[in-house]
Structure 1
């Protein structure tokens, strides 16, 4: 089994929204803002190769939205999903399963693309099954006013219409039947209802794809919770338990949104769990 980081592109969001009640004078030290108060973010995904399975965890913003839409997010850099897959030796048609931590547009926008003549939409991974869970699907397709702008129907409904949409029962990963891959799923509800965080056993370590529970290294301290979270007090509880477990068990955190740090470990301090070391993927998991 081999895992690969897949850089799908970079964007920016308002730093105040990303850090909620934490003052800019504090969060600006770890996540410096530009003149528009925007901070650098990544849309980093994870590819898991396991026998005849090729599982992509999340897939970025995609490219089907309008120029006006993308202008709000200040896209930057030269990463793309296809170039990253090619670097790893694959093509999007090789993907067998797409695991979606949740259905906000920056996590699942790459699932669906325009058809050839741009008259409608089609799955961007024609041979893959898309995996979410029933509770989150209901939450996303009947969105509350706070999250409505993040759950785009053009990202969601074509998945269902294609017949490629499948649901995961709590804690189970049916796409890994008969596999020896250690792939656990941890559900969290503070950011959005039933977000799924994969835990992967790899080279003797536990790698956790932390998605939007901990967007960047700067979000490790407990009160650093995004303004986007629907239940911030619940996020506090979920983070506290997660951070303690991560520090105690030496988990490797894989960051989806940290543009400058791919992985890190934690340590316990008098102030709680804090950054221990950060690594690039190649530094920690060098391949021959």
Structure 2
């Protein structure tokens, strides 16, 4: 098995929304904001090469939305999905599986592209199975008012229409090749891959832990549908991560790719952060 970080682009989000009830005077110490109160974010995906299987975990925002849409998110930097795949010798047509942690646009937008004449949409990974779960899929296709702006039909429905949609079940290892942790605080049945790699455990954090600045328990996004549940899920997970020396792969932290946590008198806190290649070769 080989694992590669795949950088698909950087964007900005409102710092207040990202930290909920935590005051800016506190969260800006770890996540400094610009003049518009926006903080830097990444869309760091993961590529897992395992035998004949090449699995991409999440796909970033993609490029099919309107200029007005992208204007809300202040895209910056030179990262693209295709360039990041090419850096490791791959093309999107090589992808056999696309595993979507959840269906918010910044996690699944790159799954779908315009067709050749821009009259409709098609999967951006023509040879891949797309993996979601039935509870989250139903949640996304009939969205609640709070999440409606994050579940975009053009990102979601063409996956089903293509015939490439698959649902994981509780025994996920037989289906996708790794264990999955299900979390309900951010959105219904978000899925976090848990992978055994080079003698260590890596957990792809998606939106349970967006950045290292979100490690303290009350630091919960305003986007979460059930923030009190997020706090419990974070507490349970971070205690386990500290006990068992998990490596946490950070999808949204623009400056820290992977981190570890430890127990302290103030609770679980950051132990170390690293570039992925500093730990895994």
Q: TM-score range by the shorter chain?
A: over 0.9
1:280 equivalent among 275, 278, 281: 275
Per the alignment, residue 34 of structure 2 pairs with 34
Per the alignment, residue 106 of structure 1 pairs with 106
Per the alignment, residue 3 of structure 1 pairs with 3
SS at match of 2:90: coil
1:200 equivalent among 195, 216, 225: 195
SS at match of 1:225: coil
RMSD, matched Cα:
0.7
**Is the aligned partner of 1:260 residue 2:255?**
yes
Per the alignment, residue 218 of structure 1 pairs with 213
CA deviation after TM superposition for structure 1 residue 212, in Å? 0.1
**Is the aligned partner of 1:270 residue 2:265?**
yes
5+ residue gaps, structure 2: none
Segment of structure 1 superposing worse, 38-47 or 167-176: 167-176
1:128-160 residue CA offsets vs partner (Å, 9 max, x unmatched): 000000000000000000000000000001000
- Map 1:60-209 onto structure 2 (within 5 A): 60-176=60-176, 183-209=178-204
CA deviation after TM superposition for structure 1 residue 164, in Å? 0.3
CA deviation after TM superposition for structure 1 residue 282, in Å? 1.3
Provide the rounded CA distance (Å) in 1 between the counterparts of 2:245 and 2:162.
40
2:245 equivalent among 239, 244, 250: 250
Provide the rounded CA distance (Å) in 1 between the counterparts of 2:118 and 2:71.
21
TM-score normalised per structure 1: 0.97
5+ residue gaps, structure 1: none
**Is the aligned partner of 1:231 residue 2:229?**
no
Contact 1:131/1:167 (<8 A) preserved: yes
SS at match of 2:85: helix
SS at match of 2:217: coil
Provide the rounded CA distance (Å) in 1 between the counterparts of 2:7 and 2:171.
27
Provide the rounded CA distance (Å) in 2 between the counterparts of 1:203 and 1:173.
17
**Is the aligned partner of 1:19 residue 2:19?**
yes
Aligned residue pairs total 281
Provide the rounded CA distance (Å) in 1 between the counterparts of 2:186 and 2:175.
25
TM-score normalised per structure 2: 0.99
Provide the rounded CA distance (Å) in 2 between the counterparts of 1:17 and 1:198.
25
Provide the rounded CA distance (Å) in 2 between the counterparts of 1:285 and 1:235.
29
Per the alignment, residue 53 of structure 1 pairs with 53
Contact 1:168/1:174 (<8 A) preserved: no
